[in-house]
Amino acid sequence: MKNRVRELREARGLSQNEFGQKIGVSRQTIYAIETGKYDPSLPLAFAIAGFFSNRIEDIFQPKR
């Protein structure tokens, strides 16, 4: 799954660790999501989308 998490996080000036703390996951989880090694659960995807005031489909797209 492709995503815009890194782009959105960096635009807010947050480190992976800071962002992870704000949504309740580890820095390693943020890294894995940003690099496409881990697809977040639906509740986590909603938390990420809510944090950035976006819809899930505006952040996460299936690989084509």
**Domains recognised in the chain with CATH numbers:** 2-58 (1.10.260.40)
pLDDT computed for residue 1 by the predictor = 87
Query: How far is it, in rounded angstroms, from Cα 61 to Cα 24?
Result: 23
**Of 10 and 62, the one with more pLDDT:** 10
What would the pLDDT profile of 2-60 be if each residue is shown by its tens digit?
999 999 999 999 999 999 999 999 999 999 999 999 999 999 999 999 999 999 999 99
Closest CA to 49 of 19, 1, 5: 5
Q: Which residue has the higher pLDDT, 62 or 63?
A: 62
In this predicted structure, what is the pLDDT of residue 62?
87
Name beta bridge partners: 42. Answer: none
